[in-house]
């Protein structure tokens, strides 16, 4: 299906309003020799989900937003930020996009304890914004938000999958992002651990108040997190299709 994606089309806008969309993703992607995907997503919602079958290009869309894959052409605007616009020659490098990225696996540094993993995120954020005196996501606030105070001295190999993902979320927030991308953050957890982690994701969604794009295969998860859902890889149906 991937190679037969429909051409770019009029974007789907979630609510009847003249306000500028929070998400404006209109671009063409190529991965490898054969995969091509035209993406057309507009949403005024802050929290969107991207769903679709395996291999349709969900992660690739997140990679393009993060600047890890360069679209063939098009534009990527989120809130007031233009991250990519081929017509205007704009292509911000990844470190200037201020994106917090949480992957399926937490990707913590195993030789560091939780505090040091979190501080890595904090320093990474500061490295690109040394002038910020009063970061929006302070260490104590993030630790409280994610309930990871009791874990600070522990190393990641001893943590449960859910604990690791909470630390990964914390590390992402401490980098002071303007946008959060979550690529199937619950997919490696069993059902009980998923149910434990979901409320933390909801807290981050509500309290961090950042634009969030959430990739998942699980309908229940998507319903509980996202305000609008876009199906990648399906022909438009007038609502929620996305290219």
Question: Hey, which residues between 1 and 30 contact ligand ATP (CB under 6 A)?
Answer: 2
Helix (H, G, I), strand (E, B), or coil: what is residue 238?
A: coil
Residue of 10, 17, 19, 32 that binds ligand ATP (CB under 6 A):
32
Site for ligand ATP contains 31 (CB under 6 A): yes
57 sits near ligand ATP (criterion: CB under 6 A): yes
Residue 32 or 130: which CB sits closer to ligand ATP?
A: 32
Least distance to ligand ATP from the beta carbon of 11, Å?
20
Rg, Å, the chain Cα set: 18
Comparison of 33 and 153: residue with beta carbon closer to ligand ATP: 33
Token pair in block for residue 127:
């490295």
Cβ atoms of residues 185 and 222 within 8 Å: no
Identity of the residue, 50 or 180, whose beta carbon is nearer to ligand ATP in the bound complex: 50
Residue 156 contacts ligand ATP per CB under 6 A: no
Nearest alpha carbon to residue 50 among 31, 36, 65: 65
- What's the DSSP call for residue 111? T
139 binds ligand ATP per the rule CB under 6 A: no
Contact window for ligand ATP (CB under 6 A) among 48-56, 128-136, 138-146, 157-165: 48-56
The nearest distance, CB 34 to ligand ATP, in angstroms, is: 8
Residue-wise over 129-160: b if at least 16 C-beta within 10 A, else e?
eeeeeebebebebbbebbebeebeeebbeebe
CA–CA separation, 124 and 119 (whole Å)? 8
Q: What does the binding site for ligand ATP look like in residue numbers (CB under 6 A)?
A: 2, 31-32, 35, 52, 54-60
């Amino acid at each position: 299906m991937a190679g037969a994606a429909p051409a770019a089309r009029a974007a789907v806008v979630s609510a009847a309003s003249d306000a500028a969309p929070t998400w404006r993703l209109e671009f063409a992607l190529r991965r490898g020799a054969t995969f091509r995907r035209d993406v057309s997503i507009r949403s005024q919602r802050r929290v969107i989900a991207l769903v679709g079958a395996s291999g349709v290009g969900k992660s690739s869309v997140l990679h393009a937003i993060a600047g890890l894959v360069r679209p063939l052409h098009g534009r990527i605007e989120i809130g007031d930020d233009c991250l990519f616009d081929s017509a205007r020659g704009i292509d911000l490098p990844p470190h200037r996009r201020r994106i917090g990225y949480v992957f399926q696996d937490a990707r913590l540094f195993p030789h560091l304890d939780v505090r040091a993993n979190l501080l890595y995120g904090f320093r990474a954020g500061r490295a690109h914004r040394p002038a910020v005196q009063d970061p929006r996501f302070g260490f104590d606030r993030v630790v409280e938000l994610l309930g990871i105070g009791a874990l600070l001295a522990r190393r990641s190999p001893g943590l449960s999958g859910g604990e690791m993902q909470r630390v990964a979320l914390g590390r992402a927030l401490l980098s002071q992002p303007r946008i959060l991308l979550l690529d199937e953050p619950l997919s490696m957890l069993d059902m009980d651990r998923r149910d434990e982690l979901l409320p933390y994701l909801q807290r981050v969604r509500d309290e961090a108040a950042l634009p969030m794009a959430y990739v998942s295969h699980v309908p229940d998860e998507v319903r509980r997190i996202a305000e609008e859902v876009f199906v990648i890889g399906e022909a438009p149906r007038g609502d929620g299709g996305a290219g």
